[in-house]
Amino acid sequence: MKHIISILGIAGIVSIYSACSGDDAPDPVKPDDTPIATVSSSSQADASADPTSAEQPAASAGQDANASSSSKAKKDKKDTTVVVREVVTQDTGATSFPQPYSSKADPFCWTEGCETWASSASGPDVPPDDSISLGGDVPNKPNMDAAPVIEGLVMTDMRDTQRYDLQDVNGTLWTKTNIGIVLVGSNCYKGDNNNCKQYGRLYTLSAAQSACPAGWKLPSRADFDAARNLTDFWKYGGRGKDGNEDFMGEMGFYWLDTNEEVQEGDKISDSCNNGSSCAMIFVVDAPGYGDEETKFQYDSQAKGFSVRCVQAK
């Protein structure tokens, strides 16, 4: 009887222990949960032998496995961010400009077609469209400080590369042809460039004062007196008056140095009697025209007359 009771007691103890062990068992792993590391077979064997002591190593191993798995997951995780760069072209409506013209010829110039008028035997012609009138604008403004180059009896005006034959008159060098540099306050007779080729330009007094290159100047009364009777020396380019021109081929009109004053016997223009600002000019008739005379005259500074230059001493 005692033997039967002992067996029943042991069975009861075993049943109680199994029930307690079932209460402490971990919940099943859900599909979405982080998997728990598997304990090695030796650990399972030890746990079978001593369930109480096996719980802590297994938990520790699970924590280590979780840490290792988390660390590995961080290392294996790659940055999948995609950066998209897109170039957008926007029409702003800006105006496009053509390539500027530049000459490869000698002499160099910026205006298309200027090569055809940039040089000649006695100097370059004026631009094809002579829009420079008394008081007008000047394209391609020359370098007014450039000194001329003299070779024998030829002077090259380096302001615009025009060339002028020279003549010695009583020890003074003159330009043998009329000046043709393009300046504000100058124009061709009747606006015709062919007239500029033959007779030079017509200048107001203000423009005439800048027409001669460095080292040269407008002739004095004495200079004109020395040259007044020379043949084949004067050009009869006419004059500009009140927006019109006349007397081309018949008379020549030339500005004097502004220091010259009216003297007895000089003619005084009606323009000066009417209050206009006036200055001295030299007038010469062409052979066969009028009295074929030469004279000094006091005339309006606003009129257009020719320019000759003499070398300053």
Tell me the per-residue pLDDT of 178-214, one tens digit each, with 9 for 90 and over. Answer: 999 999 999 999 999 999 999 999 999 999 999 999 9
Answer whether residue 18 shows pLDDT above 70.
no
Q: What is the pLDDT of residue 276?
A: 86
Average pLDDT for residues 292-307, to the nearest whole number? Answer: 97
Q: What is the pTM of this model?
A: 0.58
As given in the structure block, the two tokens for residue 90 are: 């926007």
Answer whether residue 43 shows pLDDT above 50.
no
For residue 122, the SS3 value is coil
3-state secondary structure 22-75: HHCCCCCCCCCCCCCCCCCHHHHHHHHHCHHHHHHHHHHHHHHHHHHHHHHHHH
CA distance 220 to 197: 25
For 127-250, strand residue ranges (E) read 149-151, 154-157, 162-169, 172-175, 186-187, 202-203, 216-217, 237-241, 244-248
> Which residue has better confidence, 104 or 163?
163
> Which residue has better confidence, 96 or 146?
146
What residue segments make up the domains of the chain, in order of their start?
Answer: 131-311
- Amino acid identity, position 5: I
Comparing C-alpha atoms, which of 257, 264, 251 is closest to residue 223?
A: 257
- Amino acid identity, position 267: K
Q: How far apart are the first and last CA of the chain?
A: 163
Before 107, cis peptide (omega within 30)? Answer: yes
Q: What angle do CA 21, 24, 30 make, to 5 degrees?
A: 125
Average pLDDT, the chain: 75
For residue 147, give the DSSP letter.
Answer: P
Tell me the per-residue pLDDT of 106-150, one tens digit each, with 9 for 90 and over. Answer: 555 555 544 444 443 344 444 444 444 454 445 556 788 999 999
pLDDT confidence tier of residue 3, bands split at 50, 70 and 90: low
Residues ≥6 apart with Cβ < 8 Å to 49: none
